[in-house]
Structures are given as structure tokens and as C-alpha cells.
Chains A and B, each alone.
Chain A
Amino acid sequence: MIQFLLDNPFLSALVALVSLAVTFGAVLGYAAVQFKVEGDPIVEQLDALLPQTQCGQCGYPGCRPYAQAIADGDAINKCPPGGQATINTIADLLDVEAPTLDEEHGEESEVKKVAYIREDECIGCTKCIQACPVDAILGAAKQMHTVIASECTGCDLCVEPCPVDCIDMLPVESTVSDWKWHKPEPYYQRASNIIASDKTSGAAA
């Protein structure tokens, strides 16, 4: 057998290649079965990056459907609550250029908001409860309703259905507990910067 293969280099190469192909085919096939990933990992990852405001401004009924849509090739710049930061991270994940936010779907808001029900005006129609995508409103028919502020995503969806217009979107006030240091201005942007003034004058010239 060995002698035969040595005598026929062409055949021996063929045998070697075929046996290699069979071995690796078997290994890959086994791996495909054994290490199969459940679900669509890219959709999960995208969903994890989206802000979960569930506002539907992207044109899909929630963040997950939009994640699915992105995975299916939709544009990544349709989520105003996430803003540029989210677009950037998604672009990173998908390894594409980061576009700017599509203004058609709304503008990125500067401050976080939370719904507030003026409780003495609420007539208890439960319309807002039905609208809230994260069950952040508490109430019952003909009873006063109120927003669980810690669960509210600020999606705005409850404002419109309220027949007596008693829901306001209030900016979330920052407190000492969620305060954080600001990033210092970079040296080249400081007015008092002596050497950087060279640069500014250079730019002006």
C-alpha cells in the first residue's frame, strides 16, 4: 500500500487531500451541532445596545423589533432616544461607518424625561395604562393614576391618549447621588491657554 502510494504521487496526493477533507468536514460538522448558538446572537447584541425606551419612534413596535430590523439590513440611525452614542456603538458592532441620527424619526433630547400625572385632574380612564409599554403606570378604572417614576422610560406614549391632558413629561432632575464630574475642556479649547493661542491664531491666519 505504502509502496503503491509512493509510486503514484498523484494518487497519494489525492488520497491525502480527500482524507483531510473528510476529517475536517467531520470536525466542522460536529462543531456545528455541538456548539450551536441558540437564537440570533446579533439581534440579541443589538437589542442590548438599544436604549429600551420602547417608544416606537424608530417605526417599529419596540426596541427588539428594531434590532431585528437592523439585523435584516435596516438603517442604524433611527433611534432618537439612543442618539449618536447608540448609533456609534451599533456601528462599532456591525463594523460600518456611523451615520448621524435620522432626524425624520425625531431629535435626540438633551435631558432624560419622566412622565408625571397631575393626579387631581386624572379621571381614571386607564387609557395611559394601556399605552405604557413597560407597565410603569399604576391605577384602576375611575381611580387616580400615577407613574412609577423609576420604571418610566420617558417614551411619551402615554401623553397622547390621555383625554384630559393631565400627563406632563418632566425633565429628570439630577441629584447629588447621580451627579458626576464633568470632563475638563481639552487644553486646545481653553481661552486662557497661552500656547494653544498659537494654534488659534494660526487657524485664523
Chain B
Amino acid sequence: MTKIWTIPGGVHPEERKEQSLQLPLAEIALPKELVFPLSQHIGAPADPVVKVGERVLGGQLIAAAHGIFSAAIHASTSGTVSAIEERPLPHPSSMPGECIVIEADGEDEHIAYQACEDYMQLSKAEMVKRVRAAGITGLGGASFPTAVKLNPKSNQPVDTFILNGTECEPYITADDMLMQTRAADVVLGAELLAHILGDPERVVIGIEDNKPKAIAAVTEAAKGKAIEVVSFPTKYPSGGEKQLIQILTGREVPSRKLPADIGVVVQNVGTAVAAYEALRFGKPLIQRITTVVGEALDTQRNILVRLGTPVAHILAEHGFQAKRASRLVMGGPMMGFALDTPDVPVVKSTNCILAPSKTELPPAAPAQACIRCGMCAEACPASLLPQQLYWYAQAEDFDRLKAHNIGDCIECGACSFVCPSNIPLVQYYRAAKGTLRQMDIERQKSDRSRQRFEFRQERIARAEAEKEAKRLARKKAAEKARQQQADKPGAAKADVVSAALASAKPKAISAEDELAKLQRAVASAQNRLEKLQQKHDESEDAAQRDKFSAQLKQAALRLQEAQAKLDARQAIPAPAEAVAGVAASATTDANDPVAAAIARAQAKMSMPPAEKLQANIDSLQQRLAKAEAKLAAARANDGDTVAALQAGVDKMNEKIAAAKQELAALAAPTAATKPEPAARPTAAAPSPAVPPVKAAPKPEKPDAASVAIAKAQQRAAALASMAPRDKLHQQVKSLEGRLEKALERLAKAEADNDDNLDAFRTGVEKTRARLQQARAELESEQ
């Protein structure tokens, strides 16, 4: 006789097992419709592999396992998939969930199962694969995918394999019936599973001593095999995995550990038979034995039922008297749950359908206050302190609950059963455990959110830093380029000045740009004006002409505006360096006399008010000339714009007069400022980059500025239309002129013994060199 141990606590509720053992195992009629929830096991829901409208056969795969922690689902009869939709689930929440619905065709045609005589010869991996393919899950109640359990991850070798035939809950006799009727298959299944687990030292089939027939049958079947059949005193809840291990091995599974960690694996007897059928006959898990019991039924017995059969159909087959029933329970009275509706199907874990009468299982008496009797603590098989857990669960003190190991509660309900105050203790623990689980999930999620948030902050900061670095690099590169330019050997004499020049350059260019833009604006405005004028002249219709003249006026206004802006721009004294910069840029590009001329002219623009005014007057005079020309043209054509043009000319004349007056008024103070422009070339002289020859303007003749611009523009236009040879020719000529002038000035300077003699000399030298170059070019061109 094998030694057995005892567990702490435990209770002895009324067994009521004989109720369902009076009749033999039966089968019931095929239901019209079968429902297969995709999630009827622990783990991920299965993925449907059939479509609505498809015909399926019994045993055909209809939903494949989604990953390791999942189980396949097979059709249990032939028929058509009528829907894949949400249906109420056999779950304490009675929530709906995705289900495959099959309309049975009544033919019960099955696929050809692949039998395998010598299945024990298969490799273990192949065996596990077949168990998985058959969709087998623990049939005891938890529905844990069996293939996972047959592949324990623990490094601990499995030394004990236990087959659980305890069935300690009242009323349920499904396993009892299985062992009575199929004892040989149970033993074969035990051998098979033990083999997959690596033939552990001990293979035990544990059966409570209230099932003498089952014990006798299994002992008989196991004769001559290395399998112990152990019976032990009936006590609820000996069938709990950890409790059974303790009873049969004396070992306790530590808190938060799995049985596999101490080298033990437990499987239900039903699971063993299912595994045997899967390997021997190739049959997937499509039916199971379920106890249909309770005094609200006319017939109470065990049935071999197809998975997916609606509970309502089973009840109808057993003469269910709804009036007599106090409630409808799936599972046993201790650990089962009440069903809100009988329209849920039988699933893999459905071991019992209980329809008790009101006298049999009266509704729970109202709960009273805890009187601290300590009976629950005595009953608890997990050696917990239920009354403490109750207090903390009520107060939602989760830290204390954890400290009191609520995780080790197996939710057996023994404490509620003994509680004299009828407190539904186990409900509190289930709720608290649920909340703890939820908190855990939430904490994980918030950790992930924190990570993502921090990562994002970091990424943004990094991007910002990169941008900043790029900006800095660009700045540095620009500075370096400037430095290099300043360091260029040719420009060496005065670093400071050239640096200043270099820094002024961009500004000067932008000033030039602006000027050019304004000039363009003026030109386009003029264009528009002319076009309008033309249109106006051509149109005969009076109304249209009015329109045109309005537009004309507007255009004229715009032109004026643009012109004013241009004037203002030209009048703004550009910063000295800028001017110098312009001059410098002009010199660097000495081949372009036009640009040089413009630069010089602009230099002159940045002059004291008197000169500005003078410039203004000049430009006005120019415009006047143009306007007068237009007026003349209009007169010649006898156009009706004559009056308007005449008015414009008059206005301009007026303006010129005003400007001249102002100039006269300024004349006195200008006398004092006059020497300043004269000093300018001297100031600029030290810079070799600005040959005094060029930088020395004729300050006495400020009006020359706009004239120079006009001339330069003319020349530019002329040059543009000239052939390259002519261009060169022109250049040579102008250079000759300049050289002559420079020589003259040099001679004068020599006579005066000027300080700038050197500068003058280099200037002459340079001009000469350039002239020679130009001549050479001209020659080669010829």
C-alpha cells in the first residue's frame, strides 16, 4: 500500500454522487446547431480557418491554435458553417464572444481519422505535436493546453506523473464514469503521457475512496504495469492540483511556483484518454463525458456529449423543469458558476451541468458580519487566513492581501462553505485577485508608456541637438571661409580691413540685389503703363476707355511708388564698408567695367544730404526728359493722354524746382561738409584692394553718380549686344583712358610728394598690367 499524506483543512460537503450514477453512460440526439467559442481555453483565442457557408465534416479543424498558448478547435459533426459571430459564452461573465456556429446536417459524416497502431514508437516531439493538433486541453476544469504542460520548461526532471481521478466536487461523476467504462484506455493514456514526459519514476493514478467501482476497474486494468493506483480518503478539495500532489507525494508546491518546478506533472484522467484517442485513432477532441445532474431534471446521468452542444438542448433531452430549478450551474456547486442563459454551448472544460431544485441548493443565505470564529482558517486547504483576507479585500488593501498570499488561494470555496455568517468569502478573493491581475496589467502598460514617453522626449531632444549642431557647423564653416579669404596672399597687407571688407560683402551684394529688384519693379511698372496706354489709345468704346484710364492712373501711381522707393533706396547711405565692399567686389572683377562703374556710382550715392539732393534732382531731370519725350510722342499722335502727360511733366518740373531750392538752402552747411567726401579716398587708400585710382571719385561733381549709372547701363546694354571681340576692344580703350588718367594723377602726386604715392603707383601698375592682358586677349581673339 502506497503511503499517503494529508492536507490541512478541507471540508466534507454532501457528496450527492449517486444521483447521476444510477443510469449508464448515454448519448443524446444531435442538436440542430453547434456553437464553438474561439476562446474556450487558457491563452489566445483560436483563429477560424473556415468560412461562413462552408461545409465541414466531423473532426475537421475549424479554428487553428494561435501561437503556443492556444488550442485548435474541431467540428464535432458534419454540417455547414452558418455564422462566425458573437454569442454568449459559458463564462461567469456571460459576456458574448466570437463563436463558430455550425448547422448540423444530421448525417454526422466524419473525416477519415488516421489510426496509428504503433503510436508508442513515435518520437516524443511528434507525440506532442499530435496532441497539440488534436486540440486537447485539460478536461478537469482549467482548460490549460495539454501540449504546453507536456513540455515543461523547468530544468527539474519530472520524477512523478500523477493522473488525477479525484473528482472531489459534489455531484460530478464524469471522471468516475470514464474510469468505470474505459479503465483500459485510462491506463494506456497514463502510459502514453508518462512516456512523453520521459518515463518518470512514479506514475500514480489517484482516486478518492468514494469511487469503489472506478478503483476496481482501473486497478484491474493497471495490473502488471508500472502504475500505482492509489485511493485516499474523500475530502474536498483533494482534487486541487497542489493538494493532490501533497497527498500523493508529501511534497508541497511552493508559493508562486508550478508543480513542474518540484518535478511533478498532474493530468486529468479525461485528458489522458483524449491523448490516447488522438494518437491511437487520430481523433481530435470533439466530445467529452459530462454529468447532467440536479433535481430539476427528470433524468440525471452522464452523457457522452459533442462539444458545441447547447446546454438548452441537453436540458431539453433530460426533462428540465424550469420552475423547480433554483438556478443553472456549469461545473460543480463549489467551483462552478451560474449561467444566466442556457443558450451557451458545452466546451472542453464542461464537466457538469447542474440544475438543482430549490430545496437541493437553496439560494445563499444573507451574509452577516464576520464573527472571527476562525472556522474558515481551519477549512482552508492552502493554510491561508481567510478572515484576514476578507478584511483586506473589503478595504481593498492590496499590499496586505499580497502579504497574506492571496495568490495561493485556489478559490475552492471551502471557507465560504464553513462560514457561519454565510459570507461569500471566495467571491471577495476572486474579485481581489481579478483587481490585482488588472493592476498588474495596468502597471505593465504604464511602464511601457513611461518608456515610450521617455524615448520620445529623448528623440526630440536629440533631433533638436542635431539641428543646433548643424547650425553651429554651418556658422563655423562660414567663418572659416571668411578667414581663408582674408588670409589669401594677394590681400595680405591689412588683415583687419580685408576682414571688414569680406564681412561687408554679403551686405553689399544684398544692397545691390535690392537695387536691382527695385529697378526691375520700376521697369515693369513702366511697361505696364505703356501697355495700358496703348490699349487706352486703341479702344473706341467710351466706357471701356474710362476703365482703361482708371487703370492707367493706378498704374501710373504704382510706377511713381516704385520710382520713389528706388530713389529712396539709392539715397540711403549704404554703410561705409558696404560701399567699400562694392568697390572691392568691383575691383576683384576688373574685367567687368560696367559693374565697376555702377559700384563707383553707388559709392557716390552714399553722400551727404546736399549730394543726395543733387542726385535726386538728376534723376528727376532724367525722368522729366523721358516724360517730355513721351509727351512729344503723344502730341505727335494727337492722343488724348496729352493732358495727363502734360500734368505729369508740370509736376516734375515743380519737384525739380523744389529740390533745387532745397539744395540751395543746404549749400551753406554743405560747404562745411564738403571736405568730407574729399577725404574719403584718403581713408580708403590704405587698402590695396581698393586702388585709389578707382576709389577716388570726383566728389566735386556728385551729380555724376546717376549719370554714371545711366552711362554704365547704356554701356552694359551696348556690351551685351556687342561681339566678344568688340567687347575686348572697348575694354582696351577704356583701360587706356584710365591708365592715362592714373599716370596724370601719379605725376601730380609725385610733384606734391603725396603720402599716397605708393598707392598711386601700385594702382598705375595694376592698370597697366590689366591693359596688357586685355591687349593680349584681343590679339589672340584676332
Contacts and interface: CB of A to CB of B under 8 A. Distances in A.
Interface of A: 47, 50-54, 62-64, 133-136, 151, 153, 174-184, 186-188, 190, 192-196
B453 A52 contact: yes
A181 B434 contact: yes
Nearest to B424: A184
Given A176-B97, A182-B431, 11 more contacts: A52-B447, A54-B453, A135-B452, A135-B456, A151-B448, A175-B97, A180-B435, A180-B438, A181-B92, A183-B428, A188-B369
Given A181-B431, A190-B366, A134 B456 contact: yes
Given A51-B446, A175-B95, A178-B438, A187 B366 contact: yes
B368 A176 contact: no
Among B39, B366, B441, chain A packs the most CB atoms within 10 A around the CB of B366
A63 B428 contact: no
B389 to A, nearest CB: 13
Interface residues of B, number: 40
A47 B449 CA distance: 12
Interface in B387-405: 393-394
Interface of B: 39, 89, 91-93, 95, 97, 366-369, 393-394, 421, 423-424, 427-428, 430-435, 437-438, 441-442, 445-450, 452-457
B96 to A, nearest CB: 9
A145 to B, nearest CB: 17
Nearest to A188: B369
Interface of A is mostly: loop
A193 B367 CA distance: 7
A183 to B, nearest CB: 4
Nearest to B449: A52
13 contacts: A52-B449, A63-B450, A133-B453, A134-B453, A176-B95, A178-B441, A181-B434, A183-B427, A183-B431, A188-B369, A193-B366, A193-B367, A195-B366
Among A53, A62, A134, chain B packs the most CB atoms within 10 A around the CB of A134
A95 B15 CA distance: 52
B431 A180 contact: yes
A133 to B, nearest CB: 5
Interface of B is mostly: helix
Contact of A190 (B91, B367, B446, B452): B367
Nearest to A195: B368
Nearest to A155: B449
Contacts of B449: 52-54, 134, 151, 153
Contacts of B97: 175-176
Contacts of B457: 62
B369 A187 contact: yes
Nearest to A179: B93
A191 to B, nearest CB: 10
Contacts of A180: 430-431, 433-435, 437-438
A84 to B, nearest CB: 11
Contacts of A151: 448-449, 452
A190 B367 CA distance: 9
A194 B369 CA distance: 12
Contacts of B434: 179-181
Contacts of A188: 369
Contacts of A50: 446
B322 to A, nearest CB: 23
A187 B368 contact: yes
B450 A179 contact: no
Contacts of B394: 183, 186
A179 B91 contact: yes
Contact of A176 (B93, B432, B445): B93
A102 to B, nearest CB: 21
Contacts of A53: 449
B367 A184 contact: yes
Contacts of B438: 178, 180
Contact of A52 (B430, B431, B446): B446
Nearest to B434: A180
B467 to A, nearest CB: 16
Contacts of A174: 95
A163 to B, nearest CB: 22
Contacts of A47: 450
A187 to B, nearest CB: 4
A86 B31 CA distance: 52
Contacts of B437: 180
Nearest to A190: B366
